[in-house]
A and B are shown apart, each in its own frame.
Chain A
Amino acid sequence: MIKFKDISAIHGYEDFALDIPELHIKDGEFVSLVGPSGAGKSTLLRLMTRELRPIQGEVLIDGVNIAELSHKEIPLLRRKIGTIFQDFKLLSKKNAFENVAFALEVSGVEPEQIIQDVPKVLNIVGLADKAKNFPHQLSGGEKQRLAIARALIHRPGIILADEPTGNLDMVNTYDVVKLLMKINEFGTTVVLATHNREVVNAVGKRVVSIDNGKIVRDQMEQGKYII
């Protein structure tokens, strides 16, 4: 369960007017955050990973106010959440296998377990034969699927996807969305921030529209891209 309560300002972005009195995301939900660029979609996601910290208000994940986490506790939070970014954020000096393995290593998973798990998840995203490739040897779609594999590897309860299809063509966009929906079917909460109308309409689940830092519409079911 993710809860935003009375968020009005953010450290380091004091000029940005954000006004989220209340937003609840239930476990296992698929929520699309939509809105034009600069509306505040990414800001909401970054509040959930504690990249940003509210000056006022609370962000609760499973009952824990993450605004109050110490610097040392932040990695523990991030290991419970899988994050996917528009620019992939892959480690360029590590190959596909190592990129995924890194997310496990940081949690202290045994090397034997890593060797077992990583190929499985690479297989799920269709990159089993590219394990040794470095990010610059992968196409845009493959990079994003690799990022999804990394986000999935420690079976997080929540996946946050920030414009994951922003740099992809139609075919790859479709692949990524299908993957996200599949992940959601297995019970993982997915929060997708996007301004891609087709994607949102194809998903057809809860849609939260944001504009100028405010929630302007919240369609609980069968949502469409409306601003």
Chain B
Amino acid sequence: MRKVIKRIWQAGWTNFKRNSYLSFGTTGVMTLVLLLFAGLMAVQYVSGQIVSGLENKVDVTAYFKQDASEGDILQVKQDLETRPDVQRVTYVSREQALEDFKAKHAGEPLIQQSLAELADNPLEASLNIKARESDQYAEIVSFLEGNKFRPVVDKINYYENETVIRRVQSIANGLRNWGLLATFLLAAIAILVTFNTIRLTIYNQRQEIEIMRLVGGSNSHIRAPFLIEGGLYGVFAGLAATVIFYPAVWFVSSKASSLLPDISLIGYFAANMIQFLLIVLGVGIILGVISSYIAIRRFLKV
């Protein structure tokens, strides 16, 4: 078995080296294809970050009447927290609200003055609710509406924010869906380009393949080195794509940081370098091997 593997490996490697011109061209095309894949990954990451950034800005706050007891409010909080679509509920007591307000307007003497004149705290306690997905707010709000503590709720700011929430939601969905569609389309193009390139490479060697059949080579015996060769295109293209991609990301990242200060492209890819390399190599090898397998089939019929 080891001898067989050694023979296949040697034959594949030798063929790769001796076809240097073809190998170089095929690897080059595949490198571009893998760079396209990597670019798609980057675009997916950036658009994902933009979407979740937008979604993070969306929340709903329920304000409680001044006479609502803390126990009731905490009960509502507990009820909300049992729901699977609720990610986080933050309770802001009246005192806390006042503190926050004061802190926020610390530099404005007029506001401070008017606050001091008030005998009572005018602010209401509130629950700030964060849903897991932005399209779940409507349901959470209707749950609140139906809650037995509804009478102590003064108002829910969802109704004021509804249009904004819906718009954010549709932008997020649009970005996600179109991004996915574009990714699939480009990935399909990339696969076709790779397949055709490898097909041409093997077409160039069709006579060799036929001769191998004529001198008694079995299909598997002839095919194996070609599959190794296909895999080698993938390995070299994967390495080349990584070597080109990281400096490019670094460059783009430094330019884009002023535009998208919250997103660090290079940070993301640097942290996931091993995974990136594995994915790119994996995609390259699988594409190379499968394309070779399909392309060689028709020349093995002699």
Contact surface of A with B, Cβ cutoff 8 Å: 49, 51, 71-72, 74-79, 83, 89-93, 102-103, 105-107, 110-111, 150, 154
In the complex, what residue of chain A is closest to B17 when comparing beta carbons? A93
A49-B3 Cα distance, complex, nearest whole Å: 29
A80-B215 Cα distance, complex, nearest whole Å: 10
Interface size of B by CB at 8 A reads 20
Contact surface of B with A, Cβ cutoff 8 Å: 3, 7, 15, 18-19, 205, 207-208, 211-219, 221, 301-302
Contacts of B212 in A (CB 8 A): 91, 102, 106
Docked-complex contact B211 and A90, CB < 8 angstroms: yes
Docked-complex contact A89 and B211, CB < 8 angstroms: yes
Contacts of B18 in A (CB 8 A): 93
In the complex, what residue of chain A is closest to B218 when comparing beta carbons? A75
Which of B205, B208, B215 interacts with A103 by CB under 8 Å?
B215
Which of A78, A92, A110 interacts with B216 by CB under 8 Å?
A78
A154-B216 Cα distance, complex, nearest whole Å: 11
Docked-complex contact B7 and A111, CB < 8 angstroms: yes
Measured CB to CB, the closest approach of chain B to A42, in angstroms, equals 13
Contacts of A102 in B (CB 8 A): 212, 215, 217
Docked-complex contact B3 and A78, CB < 8 angstroms: no
In the complex, what residue of chain B is closest to A92 when comparing beta carbons? B208
Known: A102-B212, A105-B221. 12 other contacts (CB 8 A): A51-B214, A51-B302, A71-B301, A75-B217, A76-B216, A77-B216, A83-B215, A89-B207, A91-B211, A93-B15, A106-B212, A154-B216
Contacts of A72 in B (CB 8 A): 218-219
Contacts A91-B208, A93-B208, A111-B7; is A106 near B19 (CB within 8 Å)?
no
Contacts A93-B18, A93-B208; is A150 near B215 (CB within 8 Å)?
yes
